[in-house]
């Protein structure tokens, strides 16, 4: 088994083919608990706290998405499936573009190759909205993270229940440091992986939520179309976190995808 870097907190459970789980901005690996409960009898799950998030150290925060991928690479055994959610999906794409030979499949949940809207990319978040989050983060970290959690759960069933559960996960397992939050927003602001997509020749399942207010489903459709072996799956009546709103259904699709 590949060792994890000392600065990264990693939890392993289950047996079978390795499946690496990479969470998104401001969260920690507890966001995958409901999904992991459905998958641990089929896969060896390797859940990672991103640098400065959860119980991972905030030292050596990545300056770009490739630095983040390089920090995560030791957590990815040869032949692993890599599942990335949101910012974790961007990291998964960067991992695949740098070391696709060591990864068997990609699962990209509520992910996009380019988070911010640009002149030639209409599927991103307006830059002013992201800048608003960054400005608020500097004055009230707790409120900013709360609002982002609420935004990503909005549109899904039992959003208020899930919001309380994720707030409890942050309190029990560890919130992201202020520096890690600022660094993560910078990664979301600057990363554009669209030119790399044709070179990522791996089976890839792109999962989106119909009512996602953070990563629009159109970004997922464009991502799946640009990947040479991309498949698109959209969950109706859910937001940015289908692994929270539909863990049983998503697990079934992951098992089906991995067995092809």
State how far the alpha carbon of 66 is from the alpha carbons of 113, 138, 187, in Å. Answer: 13, 25, 10
Which one is catalytic: 56, 86, 111, 245? Answer: 86
Which one is catalytic: 9, 240, 245, 246? Answer: 240
Catalytic site residue 142? no
Which one is catalytic: 212, 216, 245, 246? Answer: 212
Catalytic site residue 240? yes
In this structure, the number of other CB atoms found within 10 A of the CB of residue 16 comes to 13
Distance CA 135, CA 130 (A): 9
Distance CA 105, CA 114 (A): 21
State how far the alpha carbon of 55 is from the alpha carbons of 2, 26, 72, 177, in Å. Answer: 19, 12, 15, 10
Q: Tell me the torsion sign for CA atoms 11, 21, 244, 58.
A: positive
Catalytic site residue 86? yes
Q: Which residue has the tokens 């910012």?
A: 87
Calculate ∠ Cα 223-144-240, nearest 5°.
Answer: 30
Whole-angstrom Cα Rg for the chain: 16
Catalytic (active-site) positions:
86, 212, 240
């Amino acid at each position: 088994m590949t060792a994890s870097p000392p600065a990264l907190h990693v939890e392993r459970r289950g047996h079978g083919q390795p499946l690496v789980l990479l969470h998104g901005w401001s969260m920690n690996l507890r966001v995958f608990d409901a999904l992991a409960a459905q998958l641990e009898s089929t896969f060896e799950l390797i859940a990672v706290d991103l640098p400065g998030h959860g119980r991972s150290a905030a030292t050596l925060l990545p300056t770009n998405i490739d630095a983040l991928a390089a920090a995560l690479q030791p957590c990815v055994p040869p032949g692993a499936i890599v599942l990335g959610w949101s910012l974790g999906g961007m990291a998964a794409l960067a991992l695949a573009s740098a070391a696709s030979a060591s990864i068997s499949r990609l699962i990209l949940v509520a992910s996009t190759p380019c988070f911010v809207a640009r002149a030639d990319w209409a599927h991103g978040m307006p830059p002013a909205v992201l800048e608003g989050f960054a400005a608020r983060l500097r004055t009230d970290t707790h409120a900013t993270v709360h609002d982002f959690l609420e935004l990503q759960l909005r549109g899904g069933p039992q959003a208020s229940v899930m919001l309380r559960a994720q707030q409890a996960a942050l309190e029990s397992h560890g919130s992201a440091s202020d520096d890690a939050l600022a660094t993560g927003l910078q990664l979301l602001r600057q990363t554009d992986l669209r030119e790399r997509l044709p070179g990522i020749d791996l089976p890839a399942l792109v999962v989106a939520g119909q009512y996602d207010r953070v990563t629009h489903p159109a970004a997922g459709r464009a991502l799946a179309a640009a990947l040479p072996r991309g498949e698109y799956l959209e969950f109706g009546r859910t937001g940015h976190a289908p692994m929270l709103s539909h863990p049983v259904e998503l697990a079934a699709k992951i098992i089906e995808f991995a067995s092809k």
